[in-house]
Amino acid sequence: MLKAYCIEDVIEAGCDEAGRGPLAGSVFAAAVIFDPQLLGKEEHRAWLEMLNDSKQLTEKERLTLRPLIEQYAMAWAVVEVTAEEIDRINILNASIIGMQRALDKLPITPQHIIVDGNKWKPYIPEGQVLEIPARTVVKGDGKYLSIAAASVLAKTYRDEYMLRLHEEYPQYHWDTNMGYPTKAHYEAIQQYGITPYHRKTFKLLK
C-alpha cells in the first residue's frame, strides 16, 4: 500500500491534476484529505491497496475507486480550469492554480499539503495570513494515498467531461484520445480546423 502521510499527526491534503498534455479541453485538479482512523481500518484495506497513480489503473479500477474516495475521504474537491484560461496563463500556472482552487473548496483547511510534481506556489487560504506548508513530490501519485486519490478524481472527472465534448464534436475522436495529440486528432484538426475547446497556445498542427 502507498504511504498514508508525508507528515503524520497533521491534517494533510494531497493534490494532483489531469490533462496537462492534451491539445483540447480543460485541465482538472483535485485535493483529498484522508482521516487517519479510516486508513487504519481493516475493512478499507482492499480498496486503499488498489489506490495508485491513475495512469497505472484501468478505467474500471478508477471508476470503482472514485465513489469510495468520495464516500470515505474526510474531504475532497475537484475543479476545472478551462482551455481559455490555460491559453491566458499557461498550462503550468493553470495546473497549480487549479490545485489551489481545489484546496479552497475543501470544507477543512489542511495543515500541510503534498503535491504531485516539482512545481508549486505559496498557498494562503482566504482569510488567513500564513502560507500553508507544502511539499512537492515527483511521481507522488504513486507514493502517497491522498495524491493517488486526487489523481483518480481528477482523471475520472476529466474523462467524463471529454466524453461530453465528444458528443458535440465527434470528428475529433475525443471519446478515445481524450484530447491528447494522437494522429487521428491531428488529422481532424487539419481537416476541420479547431474548436472553442482547443488550446490555441499549444502546437495544434503536427
Read off the CATH number of the domain in which 33 is found.
3.30.420.10
pLDDT digits (tens, 9 = 90+) for 76-123: 999 999 999 999 999 999 999 999 999 999 999 999 999 999 999 999
Q: Is residue 199 part of a domain?
A: no
pLDDT for the residue 77: 98
User: Has this prediction a pTM greater than 0.75?
Assistant: yes
> What three-state secondary structure class fits 99?
helix
Q: Is residue 159 part of a domain?
A: yes
Phi then psi dihedrals of residue 70, to 5 deg: -65, -35
Residue 55: domain span: 12-192
In angstroms, the CA 112 to CA 133 distance is 5
Residues in the chain, pLDDT under 70:
none
Q: Is residue 78 part of a domain?
A: yes
Q: Is residue 52 part of a domain?
A: yes
